[in-house]
Amino acid sequence: MDSKKIDKVVSLCKRRGFIFQSSDIYGGLANTWDYGPYGVELKNNLKRAWWQANVYARDDIYGMDAAILMHPKAWEASGHIDNFFDLKSDCKSCKKRLKSEDLKNKSKCPECGGELTEARPFNLMFKTHQGPVEDTANLLYLRPETAQGMFVNFANILDSRHPKLPFGIAQIGKSFRNEITPGNFIFRTREFEQMEIEYFVNPNGADKKLEEWIENRFNWYIALGLNKANLRKRPHGKEELAHYALACTDIEYNFPFGWSELEGIANRSDFDLKRHAEYSGKDLRYFDDTAKERFFPYIIEPSGGVDRSLLAFLTDAYHEEDVRGKIRVVLKLSRELAPVKTAVLPLLKNRPEIIELARRITQGLKKHIVCIYDDTAAIGKLYRRQDEVGTLYCVTVDVESLEDKQVTVRERDTMEQKRIGIDRLKEYLLEKLNN
Ligand code: GAP
């Protein structure tokens, strides 16, 4: 993939109000990003599509929203206090902190050639304190994965919803990791959002369920618009498995900076439930009333990143086309993901009747479709802006519209234009958007 594409995507994100550097006016906070007006719409659409496919469309998955702060014992039980670290070395000259994994056995600093310290473990969890006294008794962690909030609620879901195996819990929320080497725009950050499912299964059928979930999740990205040629599955080698995992396959995307993980689908075995049962003293076994036995289910976990997926969808959708000798930049996002479905644009700014009609049409459409109005530039520029944010349909109101009560509807990808009666416009667009 074109390695310059990432710079073009970053630039478009800022120019058009998708993503801004955090605390920009203070010089920015490194590797931290804020989502602007179109970015938040795209993010919400992505999360909604995930929730639709994994919660609403199924009978066996329950949604929830756990707190970011958890009892500190939960992190002892989960193994994160003992195992959730990266090895890092510091450069004695330039003081840069480097992840051992990225050094690939190099003995000198790749930046300045300086001497490196011995590799030391560095726990990735952010610490904070509860209440006014900052001592160890009040130590809390910002969660590094949303998963644990679902494991500690396993018994609550059983008692309140009475599900039978297999069933799952799904959650979308923020996680925090004090990454040693964040970077590649929103790909690796210290604050990010995850979309996770914990799917509880009978241990006997766990391998098959893992395969089913890998297929399911791979196909979800394609159905939502990612080019299949830019996706691949990569099973983990034994040495790279997380401390809780028996097996894991990553879904990777061919980013401009190389193939990288979008989502991991792991078999977490009964590790988490067993450990929480042990540390909390609560019986977290499932009772199978047909076999009349109690056991700890295995957990299949599809765990994806919102921000990473969003970057993949943006990169995949970014197109440059030659239109009559000029470059048209267009975001070919799918109907579900496009932040704006329709934009109403008056052809002439100096005709109050046209402006008035265009505004009236916008207000009418807003009740049914995500629709914006823009009259801040000439029509050519207005089209270009809408193409750059991936708006699906542009509705142009011109002088004739005042007479024939019709408007021009322009489709984003084909740029085909059609005259449509204003009285039919809503139905026309809804049909296009929903079929
Ligand atoms: N509960 C399992 C778990 O957290 P993970 O592979 O460490 O597994 C799952 O993370 C997903 O979360 C990743 O595939 C990625 O999409 C996202 N993710 C993890 N760390 C991230 C970071 N520092 N920045 C952005 N996304 C991240």
Residues 294 and 355 in one domain: no
Is 97 a member of any domain?
A: no
My answer on whether 303 and 400 are in the same domain is no
Structural domain ending residue among the three candidates 244, 279, 314: 314
pLDDT tens string 6-44? 999 999 999 999 999 999 999 999 999 999 999 999 999
353 and 307 both lie in a single domain? no
Domain annotation covers residue 168: yes
Residue with tokens 């009609």: 357
Residues 44 and 180 in one domain: yes
Judge if the beta carbon of residue 236 lies within 6 A of ligand 1.
no
Ligand 1 centroid – CA 33 distance (Å): 17
95 lies in some domain: no
Tell me how far apart the alpha carbons of residues 267 and 6 are, in angstroms, rounded to a whole number. Answer: 33
Per-residue pLDDT band at 132 (split at 50, 70, 90): confident
Report d(CA 276, CA 88) in Å as an integer.
30
- Specify whether 151 is located in the same domain as 58: yes
The CATH number of the domain where 353 resides is what? 3.40.50.800
Residue 50 has pLDDT above 70, yes or no: yes
The answer to whether residues 357 and 430 belong to one domain is yes
Q: Is the pLDDT of residue 2 over 90?
A: no
Please report the atom of ligand 1 found closest to the CA of residue 263.
14
pLDDT at 100: 87
How far is residue 148's CA from residue 275's CA, in Å, rounded to a whole number? 11
- Which amino acid residue places its CA nearest to atom 20 of ligand 1? 188
From ligand 1's centre to the CA of 245, what distance in Å? 14
The range of the structural domain enclosing residue 404 comes to 340-434
User: 348 with 307, same domain?
Assistant: no
Determine whether the shortest distance from the Cβ of 398 to ligand 1 is under 6 A: no
Predicted pLDDT of residue 103: 86
285-296 pLDDT per residue, tens: 999 999 999 999
Statement to judge: residues 212 and 348 lie in one domain: no
Average pLDDT over residues 362-384: 96
- Asked if residue 395 is part of any domain, the answer here is yes
Residue at which a domain ends, from 314, 331, 359: 314
- Taking only the tens place, the pLDDT of each residue in 297-352 is 999 999 999 999 999 999 999 999 999 999 999 999 999 999 999 999 999 988 99
pLDDT tens for 204-229 read: 999 999 999 999 999 999 999 999 99
For 3, half-sphere exposure in the C-beta direction (CA atoms, 13 angstrom radius) is: 2
Check the annotation: does 189 bind a ligand.
yes
Mutate-to-test residue for ligand 1 from 143, 172, 194, 272, highest number of ligand atoms within 8 A of CB: 194
Q: Name every residue whose Cβ is closer than 8 Å to that of residue 379 and which is 6 or more positions away in sequence.
A: 345, 347, 396
Which of 75, 261, 300, 309 to mutate to test ligand 1, by most ligand atoms within 8 A of the CB atom? 261
Rg, C-alpha atoms of the chain: 25
Per-residue pLDDT, averaged over 364-369, amounts to 97
Closest by alpha carbon to 125, among 184, 190, 74?
190
Cβ-defined contacts of 74-77 (< 8 Å, 24+): 74/148, 74/152, 74/276, 74/279, 75/125, 75/141, 75/148, 76/279, 77/272, 77/275, 77/276, 77/278, 77/279, 77/280
Q: Is the CB of 342 under 6 A from ligand 1?
A: no
Provide the pLDDT confidence category of residue 1 given band limits of 50, 70 and 90: low
Residues 310 and 344 in one domain: no
265 CB within 6 A, ligand 1: no
Q: Is residue 32 part of a domain?
A: no
Strand pairing report for 286-288 and 139-141: unpaired
Does residue 88 form part of some domain? Answer: no
Going 272 to 274 to 277 to 283, the CA torsion angle's sign is positive
78-88 per-position pLDDT tens digit:
999 999 988 88
CA distance 45 to 306: 11
Q: Per the structure, how many domains does the chain have?
A: 2
